[in-house]
């Protein structure tokens, strides 16, 4: 689904989204981002540079410089960051023959695609999302019936 670069980039952009203010945003150094997310500074600096080249963040050198989002967090999807560091699968080949497992894996892949496309970095701002995301329940993809937990036991409609 995604690797360490993508995971770290999402964490870094998420931190910048937390700092977003519509009237102007605070610029922070790569070291500040790395410290806030407990990440390696050289790795974060490299990823922020790639994100800057892609137009996701703006970087300014020198005193008063640093990194900030290039556009509002609700205009940046997880997919926008994902495509910078991942190779999209154009010809996904399922390891299973057509049948129930193949169909469930396809549903999971489709759900992940929707999640990447519909989730914006506004989720990191603490503000309500600009539009409601409707995600299918994981249990449906795992083939569990209503009232059955992931360990196969009946839940009797109760939640933990």
Q: pLDDT tens digits, residue range 9-56? A: 999 999 999 998 766 678 999 999 999 999 999 999 999 999 999 999
pTM above 0.75? no
Rounded to the nearest 10 degrees, how much is the dihedral formed by the CA atoms of 103, 106, 112, 115? -70
Q: Which three-class secondary structure state does DSSP give residue 110?
A: helix
Is 50 in contact with 84 (CB distance < 8 Å)?
yes
131-152 pLDDT, tens digit per residue, is 534 444 443 333 433 343 333 4
> CA-to-CA distance for 114 and 136, rounded, in angstroms?
10
Instruction: Give the architecture (CATH level 2) of 4-141.
Output: Orthogonal Bundle (1.10)
Strand partners, 58: 68
């Amino acid at each position: 689904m995604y690797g360490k670069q993508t995971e770290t980039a999402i964490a870094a952009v998420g931190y910048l989204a937390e700092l977003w203010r519509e009237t102007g945003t605070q610029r922070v150094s790569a070291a500040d981002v790395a410290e806030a997310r407990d990440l390696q500074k050289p790795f974060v600096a490299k990823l922020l540079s790639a994100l800057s080249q892609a137009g996701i963040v703006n970087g300014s050198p020198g005193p008063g410089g640093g990194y900030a989002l290039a556009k509002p967090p609700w205009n940046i999807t997880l997919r926008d960051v994902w495509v910078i560091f991942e190779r999209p699968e154009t010809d996904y080949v399922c390891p299973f023959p057509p049948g129930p497992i193949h169909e469930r894996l396809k549903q999971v892949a489709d759900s992940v695609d929707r999640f990447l496309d519909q989730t914006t970095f506004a989720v990191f701002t603490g503000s309500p999302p600009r539009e409601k995301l409707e995600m299918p329940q994981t249990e449906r993809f795992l083939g569990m019936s209503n009232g059955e937990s992931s360990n196969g036991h009946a839940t009797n409609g109760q939640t933990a």
